[in-house]
Amino acid sequence: MSAAPIDLSTFHPDEIIYHCISPALDPETIRNRRKGHVSFCWVCLKTDTDVGRTLRRCGKCHLLSYCSKECQKKHWPEHKQECGKDDVPKFIPKLVKTLLANPLLCLQLQSCFVLAFDLIHRARRDEMLLAQLDVAVEPSNLTDFADIFLGQGSPKKEVPGMLQLNKFVPAKDVGSLSDLDPHVRHMHGFWRSEFALAESEGVYPCAVGMLAVSHPESELSFTVPLRILPSRRDFAHIWISGGLLFPSGVPGETIRVPYTVENCLQYINAHIRADTANQMLLRAVMRPFDIQLIRNAGMNFSPLAATVLAKMEREHVYKALWETYLERLKAAADRFRASGYKNGGGDWFLPP
Ligand SMILES: [Zn+2]
Ligand SMILES: [Zn+2]
């Protein structure tokens, strides 16, 4: 007796993609792929392969790579102006490389470029596509998140966290490129080299995106290239008609949403959240800064926290928490009005 043939049309494309990609999601494979991440010398653009070893990084900021002491010295007069000032926390570049080594999540990062730069209709091999990606670390457990956000409970000693993507802004929307990053000249070099490298490996991207990754703790960003493969455009057509499907946050439940840049981020964030066994290696312990950022968001306190609030408002998993937050804001506003504005509004947003 043979098994009944499986009707593939009953599956959502994301279920099939997940099935095909999941063998490549074990920690060992991700670690190996992460090792394969190529860095360029900031000065002469030589790669790890060119010099036959991993490029060394600036020992102070850990953000820039150099092929040699000579190249580092040459760049120092310029780099010392910014090195060591408000640096991106050291573990963030590693988490981002891990993200890029993950074929499932990388697919939707490429989608962000496909959608934001309209790569569906034409390849853009002649332009450097630049986008800013805001990342943060937040509690992997929603209860911890709610406790910090609403200012409840006694603070835990160690709060388990995870990488999250808060915002993707294509450079056409961020004003002048020099505002985004002072190193656009170098980025052009990276961008060209990444194309050449891809082609030497027999890969022909329809575009190469440059991601300027930034973290709220730092004014500096670091840049990583992302190859957009022509097949991603074909996938895009499937998602445009079928939407994106991913874990909702409730075990065993999925959610389906339209194919947009924000929902591609939500897809990535939801998969990281669902990975409770940390197979994807994207978990990290929350630092005081990360905790304070979420607390500030709960009090609507800091402009830096605006991205956290915007993410909460649009992502499914925070729905109940977001409603609680809005009710509290309203209640605080009502109390303030009832007080006849006597308190001057000093405690306007503070928890009751
Ligand atoms: Zn060099
Ligand atoms: Zn440095």
Q: Which ligand gives the minimal distance to the CA of 48?
A: 1
For 150-166, write each residue's pLDDT tens digit. 987 766 789 999 999 99
Backbone angles phi, psi at 94, to 5 degrees: -65, -45
Query: DSSP letter at 11?
Result: S
Residue 176 three-state SS: coil
For 33-42, write each residue's pLDDT tens digit. 888 777 888 8
Q: Which residue has the higher pLDDT, 272 or 235?
A: 272
Q: Are strands 244-247 and 221-228 parallel, antiparallel or unpaired?
A: unpaired
Q: Which ligand gives the minimal distance to the CA of 58?
A: 2
Report how far ligand 2's centroid is from the alpha carbon of 190 (Å): 18
pLDDT band at 53 (very low <50, low <70, confident <90, very high): confident
Report how far ligand 2's centroid is from the alpha carbon of 93 (Å): 14
Q: Report the first-to-last Cα separation within the chain, whole angstroms.
A: 67
Report how far ligand 2's centroid is from the alpha carbon of 12 (Å): 46
Q: Which residues, at least 6 apart from 55, have a Cβ–Cβ distance to it below 8 Å?
A: 39, 40, 41, 46, 47, 48, 65, 66, 67
Q: Which ligand gives the minimal distance to the CA of 80?
A: 2
pLDDT at 128: 87
Whether residue 321 is predicted with pLDDT greater than 80 in this model: the reply is yes
Q: Which ligand gives the minimal distance to the CA of 63?
A: 2
Q: How is the beta sheet containing 160-170 ordered, strand by strand?
A: 221-228, 207-214, 129-139, 160-170, 283-285
pLDDT at 156: 76
- C-alpha closest to that of 132 among 293, 286, 307: 307
Q: Which ligand gives the minimal distance to the CA of 83?
A: 2
Q: Which ligand gives the minimal distance to the CA of 67?
A: 1
Amino acid residing at 291:
I
pLDDT band at 258 (very low <50, low <70, confident <90, very high): very high
Q: Are strands 129-139 and 160-170 parallel, antiparallel or unpaired?
A: antiparallel
From CA 176, how far away is CA 173, in angstroms rounded?
Answer: 9
Query: DSSP letter at 127?
Result: S
Report how far ligand 2's centroid is from the alpha carbon of 222 (Å): 11
pLDDT band at 259 (very low <50, low <70, confident <90, very high): very high
For 100-126, write each residue's pLDDT tens digit. 999 999 999 999 999 999 998 888 888
**Segment 21-31 mean pLDDT:** 88
Other CB atoms within a 10 A radius of the CB of residue 318 amount to: 21
- C-alpha closest to that of 317 among 135, 148, 158, 143: 143
Domain ranges within the chain, ordered by starting residue: 88-325
Report how far ligand 2's centroid is from the alpha carbon of 189 (Å): 19
Report how far ligand 1's centroid is from the alpha carbon of 85 (Å): 23
pLDDT at 179: 47
Whether residue 87 is predicted with pLDDT greater than 70 in this model: the reply is no
Report how far ligand 1's centroid is from the alpha carbon of 103 (Å): 30
- C-alpha closest to that of 53 among 42, 63, 66: 66
Record the tokens describing residue 186, joined without a space.
């170098």
